Amino acid sequence: MDEAINKANALIEALNYIRQFRNRIVVIKLGGSLMETDHTQRDLLTDVVFMATVGMQPILVHGGGKSINAAMKQYGIEPQFVQGLRYTDERTLTIVEHVLVNQINAGIVSTIKQLGVSAMGLHSLSSCVLSAEQTTLQSPDGRQIDLGLVGNVTYVNADILKVLCRSGIIPVIAPIARDRAGGKLNVNADTAAGKVAAAVQADKLVMMSDTHGIFADRHDPDTQFSRLCQKEVETLINDGIITTGMLPKVQACLTALHGGVGRTHIIDGSFPHSLLLEIYTDKGIGTLITRE
């Protein structure tokens, strides 16, 4: 009986959140080890389907870096990174596109449909909603560093995404964009998620990976920040506390906030039902980042 009462209490707690976020768009970025096992991915997508079923409008943006690295090694190609971004030549782009589109994106769409909700893959081999321009990096001495076929998102077709959401279809976006000439560019999935959230004026952006959020000391679990404002995040970046793999996720959150998104979250998707706990309970489990 106690277990049944606890379940009822959880539903009551979720009720206000369900009402609050009904018909609101939430952009969810999937990455890290979440993409590696079918079991973890299916559990997470079950939560996404729950959100859609109770009236929220999720949009998924996914990465696939580890799967891409594994595929490249099978072809005898050693992945190369420059300041955390993958150097992408023609051969690398072919592998990236195959893994992201034909394997990961198709698998996510198939699983969502099996769970009873409509989904559509949006990518370079179908309806591409991301436009980009080729980008370079700048070295400390001012030199331009070539990244190959790597792009910075310049436009998101928000109209298509909103139409799909209103129609009850979950958009699933692979981070391969088109340039003005129709060519293909590899874009960072974290960055793409931030741009998508801003473009559709999402209520929330949720960055899901294999980390519990932001820590003052990543080796000490007791130093997790449960909530930060934009200025506090910028201070942590300048102080060198937020670095490496966490930096693109945090920058995506800032991009979304600057674009008008209400709240952003960084959570550990490998924790059971972390997505639902973050959105539909009072406490949440990750790091919430807000404008103020």
| Domain boundaries along the sequence of the chain | 36-285
Nearby residues of 1 by Cβ (< 8 Å), 6 or more positions away: none
- Quickly state the pLDDT bin for 188 (edges 50, 70, 90): very high
Q: Which of 33-42, 82-91, 101-110, 242-251 shows the lowest mean pLDDT across its residues?
A: 33-42
What does pTM read for this prediction?
0.92
The average confidence (pLDDT) of the chain is 90
Q: What is the pLDDT of residues 85-107, one digit of tens each?
A: 789 999 999 999 999 999 999 99
Q: Is 73 a residue whose pLDDT tops 70?
A: yes
Q: What is the pLDDT of residue 21?
A: 81
Q: Is 144 left (phi over 0), alpha (psi -120 to 50) or beta?
A: beta
Range ranked top by mean pLDDT from 116-125, 134-143, 204-213: 116-125
Nearby residues of 230 by Cβ (< 8 Å), 6 or more positions away: 254, 257, 289, 290, 291, 292
Q: What is the pLDDT of residue 284?
A: 67
Q: Please name which of 72, 64, 192 lies closest in space to residue 128, comparing C-alpha atoms.
A: 192
Q: What is the pLDDT of residues 267-292, one digit of tens each?
A: 988 778 888 888 877 666 789 999 98
Q: What is the pLDDT of residues 220-236, one digit of tens each?
A: 888 889 899 999 999 99
Q: What is the pLDDT of residue 283?
A: 64
Top-level CATH class of 36-285?
A: alpha beta
